[in-house]
Amino acid sequence: MKIIFLFLMNFLLSQVLTDISFIGSKSLGMAGAVVSDSEDLEAVFHNPAGLVKIKENITLISGRSQLYGLDFLNFEYLSIGFSNGFALTYQHLGTSYKNSSDFSGDYSSYGFHEFNGSLSREKSISLSQGISLLDDKNSKISIGYNLNYMSLYQGASAGPTGNGENGLSSSDLASFGIDVGLLSSLRDKVSFGAFVKNINNPKIIKGSSSSYLPRRLDLGITYYPFNDLTTTFAMERVLGTDESSFRFGVEYDITSSFMLRTGIQLNPNRLGLGFSYSMKNFELSYSLLTHSVLPTTDMFNLKVSFE
């Protein structure tokens, strides 16, 4: 487990502000194949152009997960969307000692000090909007954007002696990012989606050094064979790298209130499974996603709509 922790922390610090590709129960259940199938409030995470499809006056969605099954690594979000295509979203990712176990003296098995609440915390507040450009009998086209304020807290380092002396002090950093998305459909049978994360190439600056936040491109196509079945193929690439991940996801409505999801990702290989159960204005979703190296991540979603 400590090896997993070191691997994960290296991944988090190398990303500066972590780019979590799988946000929301739908995304986990379909292994991320959602960029061209964004039809509800979860579109704020994957393609804000889909916000134009929100019909309810107010929609709330909230979710929480312990990433990779690690009890000290918590991710949570809360979003509120409106029928005019606007949405406001809060996200938080942080390492916390509160759920750490096996304390030996003042330190846990993961190295958390009993009186230090967190090694790092990442927060973002986003204003999103979906804008319809064309809506007729044959085709629909919309665009969308996210305006993201992102903050990063890093705790003080232990220093060369391990007791905090001569170590780096804690710091708070901030940046501003912009995401854009495009969504189009033809005769409600085929839809195409594109999404660019951090299109303005934002960076974090501390002293004389700076680090650029990761930029990401998602492309996808969705086919609806009949009303109860949705199939999606998608590709994702972190810009500046030479590798892409490929994803295929399926949604099937068993009944009017119960839906099953599944999906696979290649490079790295991952499998997603999930379901949603809706009743009147409430929808409860649960999904899990495997990983080729790390433990499985699972997530609960609760969505509430007000007509």
DSSP 18-49: ---S--SHHHHHTTT--TT---STTHHHH-GG
Under a CB-based contact definition with an 8 Å cutoff, are residues 265 and 288 in contact? no
Kindly state the tokens that stand for 85.
Answer: 């295509």
Q: What is the pLDDT of residue 73?
A: 80
Q: What is the pLDDT of residue 8?
A: 43
The full DSSP string for 80-116 is EEETTSEEEEEEEEEEESTT----BTTB-TT--BTT-
In whole angstroms, give the CA distance from residue 167 to residue 158: 6
Domain that holds residue 176: 2-306
Mean pLDDT by 10 residues, the chain (307 residues): 41 52 92 91 94 92 87 88 95 70 49 57 94 93 96 74 66 92 94 96 81 92 94 94 93 95 94 94 94 89 91
Q: What is the pLDDT of residue 97?
A: 55
Q: What is the pLDDT of residue 193?
A: 97
Q: What is the pLDDT of residue 159?
A: 67
Number of Cβ atoms within 10 Å of the Cβ of 94 = 17
Dihedrals φ, ψ of 48, to 5°?
-65, -10
Looking up residue 277, the CATH number of its domain turns out to be 2.40.160.60
Q: What is the pLDDT of residue 70?
A: 78
Q: What is the pLDDT of residue 276?
A: 96
Which residues are paired to 288 by β-bridges? 273, 298
- Helices then strands (H, E): number in the chain? 3, 16
Q: What is the pLDDT of residue 116?
A: 53
DSSP 50: G
Which residues are paired to 184 by β-bridges? 141, 192
Residue-wise pLDDT for 168-201, tens only, equals: 677 788 999 999 999 999 988 999 999 999 999 9
In whole angstroms, give the CA distance from residue 129 to residue 115: 41
Peptide bond into 268 cis (omega under 30): yes
In whole angstroms, give the CA distance from residue 137 to residue 205: 49
- Provide the number of structural domains found in the chain: 1
pTM of the model: 0.85
How far is C-alpha 195 from the geometric centre of its chain's CA atoms? Answer: 13
How long is the chain?
Answer: 307
Q: What is the pLDDT of residue 25?
A: 92
Residue-wise pLDDT for 266-280, tens only, equals: 988 999 999 999 998
Burial of 191 (0-12, 13-18, 19+ CB in 10 A): buried
Residue of 121, 211, 146, 129 whose CA lies nearest to 175? 211
